[in-house]
Amino acid sequence: MGTGIRGRVPKRPEQRMGHRTKAELKTDKAPAALNVLAPDPDPDWHPIARMYWDSFHGSGQVRFWEPSDWAAAFDAMDEITRYKESPRRSSQMRAAIDSILARLAVTDGDRRRLRIELTRGLEEAEDGPSEVAVMDDYRALYG
């Protein structure tokens, strides 16, 4: 099983042993968008979709989001609303929603698959305010 978006959740960096392959170190780079602003939420969204949307603004992974990521998140909230308001809920639709949310690194397991680690707690006390800690592997893979 690989360490891409599919497969088992990778170990945390401090749990890993071994070396990095050359394939993990090669990265194509491009400049990021200068000003990334989230669109306004749709007032007609289901309360759970709105809860997700509001939580994104306080989540560390959004530091990596581009305008296209916000568009995908907006679309996901529309789909969550349709799913929650549907009289018959489709398991395929739920799987599609979960897939979109995984690509947006919504859960800890999703972020670990993408080699993103958010820190807080003890690290915050030692290092000052909580910041996003991007592992060296993430930098090497995604710039």
Q: How many CA atoms lie within 13 A of 110 on its CB side?
A: 11
- Report yes or no: 100 and 114 within 8 Å, Cβ to Cβ: no
| pLDDT in the model for residue 70 | 94
Torsion sign (Cα): 111, 116, 120, 122? positive
Cα 72 to Cα 24, 65, 75, 132, 133, distances in angstroms: 26, 10, 5, 22, 24
- For the four alpha carbons of 76, 81, 84 and 86, in that order, the dihedral sign comes to negative
How many domains does the structure of the chain reveal? 1
Q: What is the pLDDT of residue 8?
A: 77
**106 part of a folded domain:** yes
Indicate whether 130 belongs to any domain: no
Instruction: Record the pTM.
Output: 0.65
Give residue 143's pLDDT. 55
pLDDT at 3: 46
Instruction: Categorize the per-residue pLDDT at 27 as very low, low, confident or very high, splitting at 50, 70 and 90.
Output: low
Report yes or no on 30 lying in a domain. no
Q: What is the pLDDT of residue 2?
A: 45
Specify whether the CB–CB gap between 76 and 104 falls below 8 A: yes
Q: Whats the size of the chain, residue-wise?
A: 143
Mean of the pLDDT values across residues 21-50? 79
Which distant-in-sequence residues (6+ apart) come within 8 Å of 136 by Cβ? none
- Coil, strand or helix: which one is 26? coil
* Residue 13 maps to a domain: no
Residue 29 has pLDDT above 50, yes or no: yes
Residue 125 pLDDT level (bands cut at 50, 70, 90): very low
Q: Which domain holds residue 47?
A: 42-114
How confident is the model over 3-21, as pLDDT tens digits? 455 677 766 656 666 666 5
Q: How many whole angstroms separate alpha carbon 135 and alpha carbon 82?
A: 37
